[in-house]
């Protein structure tokens, strides 16, 4: 089971001015880089925290290194959070917008910092669902405009037991089906062999019946003819007797 959720940066822009609290601004050791202390929202509703953020970088690479020193999971592939494989990706285009914009930078760091707690909450929430499914992965992506997309998957069969049982059941059903089909084919073959034997017997009988003779005794020609005609209606007995060298007398 997978799901996707999106959020957008536009809603944040209207509230940032009242949320941020610039306590101090000092020149960093990096040329042009400044450090600002601001108030950022947390994953707990209504609760904020004071955080120092840096802006004024001359290139995205340096800015990324700074962010990764604080949020090691950003743009570094899949990492484990609460035992959940998690991927956090931020568009280079948006990083470029943030590196010299304290407002956007605050929005970015606010969301990056909240991700571990969000994964923990998601993990705990699924445990309360029927069947207690396990989260198999999470993924967050921030595009060039700051819009956030989230994807996640879960399963109620983390150890594969249900999948194995289903596979075994299907294999058993398939074997039973094949055995039934094989039995049917064997019966059809046996029936065909019986029919072939019957046809062979009939052909043999036909060959025996193709040439035979019998003699009848009658009181006159008409009587003899009628008796011969009667014998021809049931030639099998006459043929057997004739083959044995016995004259048929009716």
Confidence of residue 222 (pLDDT cuts 50, 70, 90): confident
The span from the CA of 158 to the CA of 185, in Å, is 42
User: For residues 92-117, b (16+ Cβ closer than 10 Å) or e, as one string?
Assistant: eebbebbbbebbbbbbbbbbbbbbbe
Residue 170, Cα to own-chain centre: how many angstroms? Answer: 15
pLDDT of residue 94: 97
Identify whether the C-beta of residue 107 lies closer than 8 Å to the C-beta of residue 95: no
Is residue 41 exposed (0-12), middle (13-18) or buried (19+ Cβ within 10 Å)?
A: buried
Alpha helices in the chain (DSSP H): 10-19, 60-70, 92-98, 102-127, 161-209, 221-233, 235-243
27 has a pLDDT exceeding 60:
no
Work out the burial of residue 250: count CB atoms within 10 Å of its CB; fewer than 13 is exposed, 13-18 middle, 19 or more buried. middle
CA distances, 122 to each of 1, 31, 45, 152 (Å): 14, 41, 16, 9
| Rounded distance between C-alpha atoms, residue 93 and residue 8, angstroms | 15
What does the pLDDT read at residue 55? 94
Whole-angstrom Cα distance, residue 126 to residue 116? 16
The mean pLDDT value for 50-77 works out to 94
**Which of 131-140, 209-218, 221-230 has the largest mean confidence?**
131-140
For the whole prediction, is pTM greater than 0.75? no
- Mean pLDDT is lowest, of 60-74, 91-105, 176-190, for 176-190
Q: Is the pLDDT of residue 106 over 70?
A: yes
Q: Which of 3-12, 126-135, 189-198, 216-225 has the lowest mean pLDDT?
A: 3-12
């Amino acid at each position: 089971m997978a799901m996707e959720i999106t959020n957008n940066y536009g809603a944040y822009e209207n509230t940032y001015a009242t949320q941020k609290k610039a306590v101090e601004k000092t020149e960093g050791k990096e040329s042009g880089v400044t450090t600002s202390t601001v108030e950022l929202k947390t994953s707990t509703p209504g609760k904020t925290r004071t955080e120092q953020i840096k802006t004024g970088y001359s290139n995205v690479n340096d800015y990324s290194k700074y962010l990764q020193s604080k949020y090691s999971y950003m743009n570094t592939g899949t990492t484990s959070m609460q035992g959940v494989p998690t991927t956090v990706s931020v568009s280079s285009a948006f990083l470029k917008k943030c590196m010299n914009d304290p407002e956007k930078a605050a929005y970015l760091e606010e969301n990056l910092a909240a991700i571990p707690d969000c994964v923990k909450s998601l993990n705990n929430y699924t445990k309360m669902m029927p069947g207690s499914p396990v989260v198999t992965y999470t993924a967050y992506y921030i595009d060039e405009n700051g819009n956030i997309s989230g994807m996640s998957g879960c399963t109620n069969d983390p150890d594969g037991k249900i999948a194995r049982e289903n596979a075994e059941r299907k294999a058993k059903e398939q074997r039973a089906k094949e055995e039934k089909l094989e039995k049917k084919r064997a019966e059809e073959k046996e029936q065909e062999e019986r029919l072939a034997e019957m046809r062979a017997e009939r052909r043999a009988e036909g060959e025996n019946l193709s040439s035979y003779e019998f003699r009848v005794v009658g009181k006159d020609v008409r009587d003899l003819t009628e008796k011969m005609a009667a014998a021809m209606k049931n030639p099998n007995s006459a043929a057997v007797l004739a083959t044995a060298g016995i004259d048929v007398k009716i």
